[in-house]
Amino acid sequence: MKVKLHGFCFFILVTGLMLSACTTTSDRFLTDKRTALMSHNNPPAYVDGYLDGCASGRRMGGDKHFTYRKDVNREEREALYARGWHEGQINCRNEALGELEQQQNSKNFAGASPLDVEQNKQAQAGDKATEAEMAEMWEKMRK
């Protein structure tokens, strides 16, 4: 009986390790973001939009572990999803660009070209107007 029990425990342990190995860096990152956003009582539609925008922003910022995601139908129907997507895209792209810049400064990065970084910096500058528009829209929604 002990041999069977130890064998079963070993099987469960190995299966758990294999499943955890299947989780990608981007999955863990977004799961952590979801937990943080939900802990602040953000509406689910906002959180979903933020996570999709965040994945898109990280990709746009040069992080190849992420893919561009956007539910266009939902964006058109749900203002909270749209707001979350835009805020997530801006915040996470800026975060990825900051990491990229740090890597380039340390001379250990062999990824995006300086042209990619410059284009993203120009896009960042355009985000200031978008952020102001989103803040105004948010205030209107709250009333």
Work out the pLDDT band at 104, boundaries 50, 70, 90.
confident
What share of the chain in percent tops pLDDT 70? 57
Residue 4 lies in a domain: no
Domain count, the chain: 1
Model pTM? 0.62
Token match 């997530």: residue? 88
Residue 105 lies in a domain: yes
User: Residue 65: which domain range?
Assistant: 27-142
Residue 64 lies in a domain: yes
Whether 20 has a pLDDT exceeding 80, the answer reads: no
**Per-residue confidence (pLDDT) for residue 99, from 0 to 100:** 87
**Per-residue confidence (pLDDT) for residue 127, from 0 to 100:** 65
81-103 average pLDDT score: 91
Residue 21 lies in a domain: no
Q: What DSSP line would sit under 73-100, residue for residue?
A: HHHHH-HHHHHHHHHHHHHHHHHHHHHH
**Per-residue confidence (pLDDT) for residue 12, from 0 to 100:** 57
Whether 54 has a pLDDT exceeding 90, the answer reads: yes
Distances (CA, A) of 98 to 6, 11, 72, 110: 48, 42, 28, 15
82-100 average pLDDT score: 93
| DSSP-derived 3-state class of residue 23 | coil
Residue 41 lies in a domain: yes
Residue 18 lies in a domain: no
Residue 8 lies in a domain: no
Token match 């995601």: residue? 69
**Per-residue confidence (pLDDT) for residue 18, from 0 to 100:** 47
Residue 10 lies in a domain: no
